[in-house]
Structure 1
Amino acid sequence: MVSKHIRLLKDLALIDESFQTSHLFRIKKKIDASTCDAIHDSDLTHPVFVYTPQQSPYIGGEFELEISLPLDYPSTTPRVKFRTQIYSPIVDESGTVSCLPILQRWLTYPMNSRSLSDILAEIDYYITHLEDVDEPHRPTLLTEWKNDPVLFIKIAEQQTKESAKSQKR
C-alpha cells in the first residue's frame, strides 16, 4: 500500500523539514511510513495542516487547512480548503482556495517540480502579500484592503481572535 504513496510520503516529510524552523505549517496528524499498516488512504489523501501565520493581521491565530489529494497525485491538481475561517480575498466563504497560480497551472509544471510544500509556501505568500493577488475569490475584500487597509486589518484581526484561537500542542 505504501508503495503507491511514496511520492506523497516524501512530500509530507519534506514539509516537516521545510517548515520546522519557522513553525509556519505543521501536519496535524503525523504520518510515518514505518507504520504503514496503520496508514489509511484518507489520512494520506486528506492531510490536515495547521498554519500559523507570522505576519499581521493573522499573528496569534492557528488555521487548519486540508489538502485533498487525488490518488494519482501529483498527476491531478490537489484541492485546498481552509477548515478555519480566515478573512482573506484568496479564500472563498466556504474556505476553498483555488486562485493560487500554482493550482491554476498545476498540470503545466513538470511532475517532479510540483509539491505540497510549494502549495503551502504560496498560500502563505498570497495571504500576506495581497498586492500580488490578481484573481481573488472575494474581490470585495481585496478592494477593501486597497481602499481602507486599516478597516481590513481590524476585521481580519478580530476574526482571527474569534475563529483561529491558538491550540495547545
Structure 2
Amino acid sequence: MSNTRPTTDYAMLKRQLMALLDTRDWVTNTAQMAAFIFQQVPDLNWAGFYIQREERVLRLGPFQGQPACNPIGFEDGVCGAAARTAETQRVEDVHAFPGHIACDAASRSELVVPLSIGDRLWGVLDLDSPLPGRFGIEDQEGIEALCQVLIEQTDLPDRV
C-alpha cells in the first residue's frame, strides 16, 4: 500500500460540480460527472456508473475508461457489495476482495458509492485506480459529497 495518497480539494470540486450539473437530465448529469471525476481526481483508470435497471442487477451507465463488465449482480464484486449493503465500499487491494470482478487487470483499488433515493437504490458510482491503497477516508467522504450533489441536482428516474 502506498503511504502517500494524492490530495484532492473536494470542497472545490463540489462547487465546480454544482455549476457543471446545469440540467436535471440524468443521462447528461451522470455523463458529465463521470468525465469530471475522471479528469479531476488523480490516479484513476476508470470512473462511472452502474444503474439498477432490474431487480438485484446493475447495468453499465455513463463512464470514462476502458470497456467495462456488464451486467453485475448484487452478489458479485465490489459494486455488488455496495448495492447489496447500501454502504460505500473502499477496497485497498481488489485482488484480496472475495468475488472481485477483474474488468481491468490494471485496477488495484476501488471505491464504490451507492446512490439511493429514499430507501431505493438507484445505482452506484464506481472508481478504480491502478494504485493499491489509492482511496482514503478523505476520498470516500469527498466522493460521497459529490454523489449527494448529483442526487440533489438530478431527476433520477425510478426505472431506466
Q: Using structure 1 for the length normalisation, give the TM-score.
A: 0.28
Highest RCO, 1 vs 2 (Cα 8 Å, sep ≥ 6): 2
Task: Determine which structure has more spread, i.e. the larger CA radius of gyration.
Answer: 1
Give the structure with the larger helix fraction: 1
Give the structure with the larger strand fraction: 2
